[in-house]
Amino acid sequence: MKKLTLLSATALVALGGGLAEAQTPKKGGTLNFAVVAEPPTIDCHAVTTFAFAHPGLPHYSKLLKWKGDYKNLKIVPDAAESFEQAPDGMTYTFKLRQNVKFHDGAPMTSEDVKASYDRIINPPEGVVSARRSLYADIKSVETPDAHTVVFRMKQPNASMLTHFASPWNCIYRAAKLKEDPQFPAKTILGTGAYEFVEYVKGSHWTAKRFDGYFLPDRPYLDGYKAFFVKSNAVVTGMIGGQFDGEFRGRTPTERDQLVAGMKENATVVDGPWVTNLMFTFNTQKKPFDDVRVRQALTLAIDRWGGAPALSKISMLRDVSGLLRPGYEYALAGAELEALPGFSKDIAKSRERAKQLLKEAGVPNLKVKLVNRNVAEPYTPGGIFLIDQWRRIGVEVEHTQLETKLFFDAMKEGNFDVLVEFISDFADDPSAQFDKFLTKEKSSQAASGHNDKKLDELFDKQAREIDPVKRKALVNEFERHALTQVYSAPLLWWQRIIVHHKKIKGWEHQANHFTATDLVDVWLDQ
């Protein structure tokens, strides 16, 4: 472990050196980076994984975007030139840039924005809108002229600006959507800084600079090439020079290997991550419809004991409930420890867990645990869960599936317990609570429960503008969700990025979805 500490120190030196530099950007070059999963779809509105965000999002613009690193983050206009929120929170007006073009040469107008948002809010039959529930408060999208879009609300929504800055709200061409609402799932056509060149499944995704991009001096790069590789190939690929970076995150061990292998060429950035690993019960299946069984399985987990050790070998690091530890709305301290699975007295918790299983009539419970075959941190998370459950006599069959098969199993309810995640681009209760709602309310919910109280609390907190009142509602939601345990967080992640020092202009945000447009990235070579 001494070795790890020494290398971590080296990494921090590299980080310090990287941040201290302020240079004039250079044009040219191709950015090569690794992506450790294959996108299940290429439709921004349907997809939820970095596997598309990293190679796919640079092709698209959105109304707003996030700028800055995780310490100095703010929302700025993207395809919009400016935006205005009415004081009562009932209207949002966006003035669009005049010179935004699609990659086929067609100008982007307010009609394209309206068609894209209509598709998100009210998806036509067969179209998946993964975050539809977040936009349910929008009453109408109006286009008074070709470069103005007005969103009128049914009721105020405290998270609305955050949602408008979602990296997933790609603007599609209205004419193409009219011809075929599934068009974005088949073809890449955006207004982003890079034009699509080719996607070879299982191999790579390439793009070239879009000369008609609305910022005349951007992008700096000639293009980029994303390589789809297994996670365990990233370190050797980066040390060998095949990739310049991987922007999801590496483990502490891999960070140290990369620093040791790349030496002075490594730049390391370590920070928080608005992402956790959680497990969801299929409440449509017995005995997981019984709250005693669900509580028993969360009570068995020694989160406080496991977190420090797992943080040395995996991306998992922090204990928290439904919101990122440290976030002002998150439950913490005694309030959190009072909830099932968060007590520091693990012996007592496990005794209670065994008792609950006995009361529920399943003292020798067998569980089919479906997990992703993305090594980090799904495999360590799965191993930890299985070990913890074994300690209360639960036998687990562990299945790790490719990303697409995993999402199919999730959609079809083909699991007892599913290892999944809350992962978002910003700390926001509305975004992070989405998976805890009923299926009727959220297309991302996998549990299948019918607890309307969660839907009601979700709505109340979403429209509460007063921060103090909103926090109380958010805490009530969290307490109820963690007591009913339709899903339960395991641990929250740490985000460690290592890239070649020649990469400049890349921003480390506390998520792996934003800062993916590569507009400001350049190569110092």
Partner 1 sequence: MADVTAGDAFADKIPKRTNPIVKFIVAQPLGFVGFLIVLLYFVLAVGAQWIAPYHPEEVDFGAMLTGPSPEHLFGTDQYGRDVFSRLVYGARTALAVGMLSAIVGCTLGAILGATSGYFGGIIDNVIQRLVDIMLSFPIIVLAMVVVAVLGRNMIAGIDANLIVAIALPMVPKMARIARSSTLSIAQMPFIDAARAAGYSHARIVLRHILPNIVAPYLIMLTAFIAQAILLEASLSFLGLGVTEPTAAWGLMLSGSSADFYQAAPWMILFPGLAITLAVFAFNLLGDSLRDWLDPKMKV
- Where do contacts with partner 1 occur on this chain (CB under 8 A)? 3, 230, 232, 235, 251, 253-254, 257, 305-306, 308-310, 312-313, 373, 375, 379-380, 382-384, 386-387, 390, 397-400, 405
Between 142 and 402, CB nearer to partner 1: 402
423 - beta bridge partners?
275
84 - beta bridge partners?
93
Between 5 and 155, CB nearer to partner 1: 5
Can you say whether residue 270 is alpha, beta or left, with left for phi > 0 and alpha for psi between -120 and 50 degrees? beta
Between 90 and 313, CB nearer to partner 1: 313
The nearest distance, CB 278 to partner 1, in angstroms, is 19
Asked whether 135 and 121 are in contact (CB, 8 A), the reply is yes
Which of 268, 264, 222, 261 has its CA nearest to residue 245? 268
The nearest distance, CB 19 to partner 1, in angstroms, is 27
Give the contacts of 334 (CB within 8 A, at least 6 positions apart).
none
Between 91 and 311, CB nearer to partner 1: 311
The nearest distance, CB 90 to partner 1, in angstroms, is 51
What's 28's DSSP letter? -
The nearest distance, CB 346 to partner 1, in angstroms, is 12
The nearest distance, CB 18 to partner 1, in angstroms, is 24
Q: Which two tokens stand for residue 450?
A: 């019918």
Asked whether 277 and 324 are in contact (CB, 8 A), the reply is no
Between 185 and 375, CB nearer to partner 1: 375
The nearest distance, CB 324 to partner 1, in angstroms, is 23
* Residues 376, 47: Cα–Cα separation, whole Å: 20
Between 92 and 378, CB nearer to partner 1: 378
For residue 419, the surrounding DSSP H or E stretch is strand 417-423
Amino acid letter for position 340: P
DSSP letters spanning 76-120? EESSEEEEEE-TTSSEEEEEEPTT-B-TTSPBP-HHHHHHHHHHH
Between 282 and 438, CB nearer to partner 1: 282
The nearest distance, CB 385 to partner 1, in angstroms, is 10
Amino acid letter for position 47: V
